């Protein structure tokens, strides 16, 4: 295994190795599952396994092996014609960034290789494959085309997907395609029918906890963090590397709800929420989720449910509309994501949260709040 810091999906890896040993490899694989479970790194590791005989491990570690081509969604920094290489659409700065991200991926398997300003895999990337596929020298291994975010072949446009389909219909010998996606439903059925599928299930919280401990990360509040990022280890590591304090964010979220229940400091909290929405989308998303988690905990106390995530020491709460308040946050969050004026949208959300909480009660006191 080319990685020593990847949580191996034993079931999938064993099956892939067996297919290689028995020489029963299909021409196309589909690795799918949620974000941050290691699909891309498994694809890279398998490509390395298929070519490990030539002793070029160092070239793999630098993502420079001639038998591996990577296709990802790329920005259009420059206008190019249909005969040009896809990489010619990149500025010099973007090319340097791509090289850096490839090298990081080989050190940190849960890192993403991506560009902010992109929404599709360029048709030129598939034309590059078509031009070069018959020139590949794979006598001593397999030429492997890794297609990350493969759903972007078909969404929002299917031009690249249709072009790839023609290649998949009659691929040359010793050519392997590994499509990797977190949104299988967006890939054309005609492409799916030509792929051997491997589903990568979510990492267990124990796996994530052990990984963090092994790599010297703080595992306090791991249950909260795991739920915040839906088990996406890449996002969890990114959050921790930014040294954001989960305890501070939880305290801020508690204070917002406490003040709403006391009908005070609404303007202050509106300004904070609006500012964080405009300046730090990641923190905004986390605050919104934490508010929902806390409200759900309060509702669990109200209804004598055992499953609580953050607020675990409350004995009693008033009969407020916690569930409806969650719906308000979710509805306004979606509106803000659709480019609603943030100042108006966040103000409306704060006021509506307060009003909905007390829809059936005028008393804003609670018996105890952690």
| Radius of gyration, alpha carbons of the chain | 24
**Phi and psi at residue 29, to the nearest 5°:** -115, 155
SS3 state at 165: helix
d(CA 107, CA 102): 9
Q: What is the mean pLDDT of residues 272-276?
A: 95
| pLDDT tens figures, 55-100 | 566 777 778 888 999 999 999 999 999 889 999 999 999 999 999 9
Q: ∠ CA(303), CA(231), CA(112), 5° rounding?
A: 150
Question: Which class for 65: exposed (0-12), middle (13-18), buried (19 or more C-beta within 10 A)?
Answer: buried
| Cα within 13 Å of Cα(246), Cβ side | 19
**In this predicted structure, what is the pLDDT of residue 56?**
60
- Residue pair 105/139 in contact (Cβ under 8 Å)? The answer is no
**Residue among 293, 219, 210, 211 nearest 249 (CA):** 293
Tokens of 71: 């296709």
Q: For 290-332, what is each residue's pLDDT tens digit?
A: 999 999 999 999 999 988 999 988 878 888 999 999 999 999 9
What is the predicted pLDDT for the residue at 368? 35
The region of weakest confidence among 111-115, 285-289, 316-320, 354-358 is 316-320
Enter the pTM of the model. Answer: 0.90
Q: How many C-beta atoms surround the C-beta of residue 15 within 10 A? A: 13
Query: Would you state the pLDDT for residue 74?
Result: 94
54 falls in which pLDDT band (50, 70, 90)? low
Rounded percentage of the chain residues whose pLDDT exceeds 70: 95
Per-residue pLDDT band for 1 (boundaries 50, 70, 90) equals confident
Q: Which two tokens stand for residue 188?
A: 């054309």
CA-CA-CA-CA torsion sign (62, 68, 69, 70): negative
Spatial contact of 70 and 146, defined as CB atoms under 8 Å apart? yes
Count Cβ atoms within 10 A of the Cβ of residue 115 and give its class: 0-12 exposed, 13-18 middle, 19 or more buried. Answer: middle
- Total number of residues shown for the chain: 370
Flag whether pLDDT at 363 surpasses 50: no
Interhelix angle for 246-262 vs 266-279, to 10°? 140
Whether the pLDDT of residue 360 is over 60: the answer is no
How do residues 112-168 score in pLDDT, each as one tens digit?
999 987 789 999 999 999 988 877 666 678 999 999 999 999 998 899 999 999 999
Say what the pLDDT of residue 138 is: 60
pLDDT of residue 133: 87
Tokens 């943030």 belong to which residue? 342
Q: What is the mean pLDDT of the chain?
A: 91
Strands 175-181 and 68-71: unpaired
Q: What is the pLDDT of residue 61?
A: 77
Residue 26 has pLDDT above 90, yes or no: yes
- Output the pLDDT for position 306: 87
């Amino acid at each position: 295994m080319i990685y020593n810091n990847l949580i191996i999906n034993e079931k999938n890896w064993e099956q892939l190795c067996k297919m290689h040993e028995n020489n029963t490899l299909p021409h196309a694989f589909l690795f799918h599952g949620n974000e941050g479970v290691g699909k891309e790194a498994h694809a890279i590791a398998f490509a390395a396994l298929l070519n490990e005989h030539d002793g070029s491990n160092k070239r793999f570690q630098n993502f420079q092996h001639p038998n591996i081509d990577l296709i990802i969604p790329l920005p259009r920094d420059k206008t190019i014609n249909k005969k040009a290489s896809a990489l010619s659409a990149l500025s010099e700065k973007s090319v340097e960034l791509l090289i850096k991200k490839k090298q990081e991926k080989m050190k940190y398997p849960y890192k993403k290789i991506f560009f902010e300003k992109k929404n599709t895999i360029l048709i030129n990337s598939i034309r590059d494959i078509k031009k070069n596929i018959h020139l590949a020298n794979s006598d001593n291994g397999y030429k492997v085309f890794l297609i990350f975010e493969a759903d972007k072949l078909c969404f929002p446009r299917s031009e690249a997907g249709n072009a790839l389909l023609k290649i998949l219909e009659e691929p040359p010998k010793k050519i392997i395609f590994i499509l990797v996606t977190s949104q299988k439903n967006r890939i054309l059925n005609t492409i799916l029918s030509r792929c051997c599928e491997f589903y990568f299930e979510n990492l267990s919280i124990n796996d994530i906890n052990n990984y963090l401990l092994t790599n010297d990360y703080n595992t306090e509040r791991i249950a909260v963090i795991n739920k915040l990022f839906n088990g996406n280890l890449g996002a969890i590591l990114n959050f921790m590397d930014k040294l954001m304090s989960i305890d501070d964010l939880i305290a801020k979220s508690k204070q917002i709800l406490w003040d709403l229940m006391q009908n005070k400091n609404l303007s202050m909290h509106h300004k904070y929420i609006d500012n964080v929405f405009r300046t730090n989308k990641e923190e905004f998303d986390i605050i919104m989720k934490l508010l929902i988690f806390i409200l759900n905990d309060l509702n669990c106390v109200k209804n004598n449910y055992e499953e609580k995530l953050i607020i675990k020491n409350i004995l009693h709460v008033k009969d407020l509309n916690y569930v409806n308040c969650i719906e308000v946050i979710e509805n306004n969050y979606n509106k803000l994501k659709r480019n609603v004026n943030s100042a108006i949208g966040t103000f409306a959300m704060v006021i509506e949260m307060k009003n909905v909480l007390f829809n059936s009660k005028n008393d804003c006191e609670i018996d105890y709040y952690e």
